[in-house]
Amino acid sequence: MYLNSGYLNNSLVDFKDKSKPLIVGSCGTYRLFTHPKLPTYRPRGRLDFQIIYVSAGTAHFHFDNAENDTIVTAGHMVIYRPKEFQKYEYYASDQTQVYWVHFTGGNVKNILRNYGIKDSMRVFYAGTSLEYERIFKRMISELQRCQTDYKEMLVILLHHLFILIHRQISKQRILKNEYLDNEMNLAAQYFNDNYNSEININKYAASRGMSISWFIRNFKEYTGVTPMQYIISIRVTNAQILLETTKYTITEIGHIVGYENPLYFSRIFHKQKGFSPSKYRKQFQK
Q: Give pLDDT, residue 122.
A: 95
Q: Give yes or no for residue 283 having a pLDDT over 60.
A: yes
Predicted TM-score (pTM) of the model is 0.62
Q: Which residues contact 279 (CB under 8 A, 6 or more apart)?
A: none
Region 178-186 average pLDDT: 86
| 19-28, 222-231, 263-272: which is most confident | 19-28
In whole angstroms, give the CA distance from residue 146 to residue 47.
Answer: 23
Domains of the chain: 2-174 (2.60.120.280), 178-286 (1.10.10.60)
Region of residue 87 (phi > 0: left; psi between -120 and 50: alpha; otherwise: beta): beta
Mean pLDDT of the chain: 93
Q: Give pLDDT, residue 199.
A: 94
Q: How far is CA 152 from the centre of its chain?
A: 18
Q: Give pLDDT, residue 178.
A: 74
Kindly report the backbone phi and psi dihedral angles of residue 15, in degrees, each rounded to the nearest multiple of 5, phi listed first. Answer: -150, 160
Q: Name the 3-class secondary structure at 269.
A: helix
Q: Give pLDDT, residue 1.
A: 83
Q: Give pLDDT, residue 173.
A: 64
In whole angstroms, give the CA distance from residue 101 to residue 108.
Answer: 14
Residue ranges of the alpha helices (H) in 47-114?
108-114
In whole angstroms, give the CA distance from residue 109 to residue 124.
Answer: 17
Q: Give yes or no for residue 172 having a pLDDT over 80.
A: no
Q: Which residues contact 61 (CB under 8 A, 6 or more apart)?
A: 69, 70, 72, 78, 87, 88, 123
Residue 162: which pLDDT band, with cuts at 50, 70 and 90? very high
Q: Give yes or no for residue 261 having a pLDDT over 70.
A: yes
Report DSSP letters for 128-178, one per residue. Answer: --HHHHHHHHHHHHHHHH--TTHHHHHHHHHHHHHHHHHHHHHHHHH---H
Q: Give yes or no for residue 14 having a pLDDT over 90.
A: yes
The type of residue at 169 is I
Q: Give yes or no for residue 175 having a pLDDT over 80.
A: no
Q: Give pLDDT, residue 3.
A: 92
Q: Give yes or no for residue 234 having a pLDDT over 90.
A: yes
